[in-house]
Amino acid sequence: MYRTTALRVLFACALAIPAACADNQGPPPDDEVVDPSKGDDDTGDDDTGGDDTGDDDDAPPAQKDAGLGGKIDGGPKVVDSGPKVDKSDAGPKSDAGPKVDAGDIKADASTPEPTDGIKPKCMQKDSQLIIIGDSYINWPFTHTFPGDMAAASMQRWRMEAVGGYSMATGGTGLIPPLFDAAIRRDPDAHTVLMDGGGNDVLLGDGLYQCRDEKAPTIEFCKKIVADAIGAADKLMGRMATAGIRDVVYFFYPHVPENTGLGGTNPNHILDYALPLVRDFCESRQAETGGKLRCTFVDMVPVFEGQPQGEWFFPGDIHPTSTGSKAMASKIWEVMTEKCIGQKGPKDCCEP
């Protein structure tokens, strides 16, 4: 259980008291690149924070192609080198087996073909994928998701997520300007991994109204969810304009009840929001005219039935390293299946 001082720190962060967060959160990870709190929420204007000069000297190590893995070979071609059977021969059939045409051989599981008409772009360097979001991505106090994701993918992507940030309301800052600042510094990016929206309902305006079983029936709480999706809509429109081809959006698991940050039972409002966010994500391809595809990853099944004492930090809604490793594994499984974030060259992604 948290000691009293820890709870005070967490609530201070939740209530957006900058001094408390600054004194207790510690320095950002080496691969975090921006303090976007100076920016606006979704305008994309130059005042969203970050350096507009594009000078690579300001970029952290995570942005300088610190890839951990090499090229993944799509597997050898298989060509039929056996004898051909003359079908005009009236004699007995040959028992040499059926002819196999190399053109009919499908790519192996490591190089799947996209099924929805959009080919992802191959990763030529690690900085072409940007990570934005909240403490389910970047929260070193309880979990190790950044390192878990790097280990799963064998790449080290641009870490921009900040704990406590929200999509539209609540939180200690906003997620959309994280992307705006990152793409200004280095526009050579085509993929985004993100989460967001949890702090909109659990912190700030929703702190005391949207964390129990009544939340889905309260218009105020439903508006918070709608505002978060509206902010994500504007954000993904800007992403499409900036040349982002794929967004992988993962959503929260069912979290423990009766915690200081989560309240009595925040899962009711999360369950209300989940299908709305999923439908929004999966409609982006049509809404952007085929420019951007959003892949939704649901973490509820990943955590379902697992021991809370091992997968969640005691008295908290955040995962432990056990939980974050499972999250990273699931995300990479989905990305590999859809050939997103894969090192090229591969047949399933564009150079």
Degrees to nearest 5, angle at CA 307 with 155 and 249: 40
Nearest to 271 by CA among 317, 227, 210, 326: 210
293: alpha, beta or left, given left = phi > 0 and alpha = psi -120 to 50? beta
End-to-end CA separation in angstroms for the chain:
50
Residue 138 lies in a domain: yes
Contact (CB, 8 A) for 167 and 228:
yes
Any alpha helices (H) in 242-338, and if so which ranges?
267-282, 284-287, 300-303, 308-311, 321-337
**pLDDT value, residue 116:** 60
Residue 267 lies in a domain: yes
**pLDDT value, residue 3:** 37
Q: What are the structure tokens assigned to 242, written together?
A: 């900036």
**pLDDT value, residue 285:** 96
Checking DSSP bridges between strand 173-174 and strand 191-194, what pairing results, if any? unpaired
- Residue 263, helix vs strand vs coil: strand
Residue 101 lies in a domain: no
Domain count, the chain: 1
Residues with Cβ within 8 Å of residue 307, at least 6 apart in sequence: none
Residue 35 lies in a domain: yes
Residue 91 lies in a domain: no
Nearest-angstrom CA–CA distance, 318 and 270? 14
DSSP tag of 208: T
Contact (CB, 8 A) for 195 and 281:
no
Residue 4 lies in a domain: no
The amino acid sitting at 188 is D
Considering the chain, what is the average pLDDT of its residues? Answer: 77
DSSP tag of 312: B
Query: What pLDDT digit, counting tens, does each position of 69-88 carry?
Result: 333 343 434 334 444 434 34
Residues above pLDDT 90, as percent of the chain: 62
Checking DSSP bridges between strand 246-251 and strand 191-194, what pairing results, if any? parallel
DSSP secondary structure string for all residues of 123-142: BSSGGGEEEE-STTTS-TTT
Distance of CA 201 to the CA centre of its chain: 19
Residue 34 lies in a domain: yes
Degrees to nearest 5, angle at CA 183 with 181 and 185: 70
**pLDDT value, residue 273:** 97
Quote the radius of gyration of the chain (alpha carbons, Å).
23
pLDDT lower than 50: segments of the chain: 1-111, 113-115
DSSP tag of 87: T
Residue 303 lies in a domain: yes
Q: What are the structure tokens assigned to 39, written together?
A: 């920016």
Range(s) of the domain holding residue 326: 30-70+110-337
Checking DSSP bridges between strand 246-251 and strand 293-298, what pairing results, if any? parallel
Strands annotated E in 57-105? none
Per the listing, tokens 């320095």 go with: 27
Helices and strands, number each (H, E), in the chain = 11, 7
**pLDDT value, residue 18:** 38
CATH of the domain at 300: 3.40.50.1110
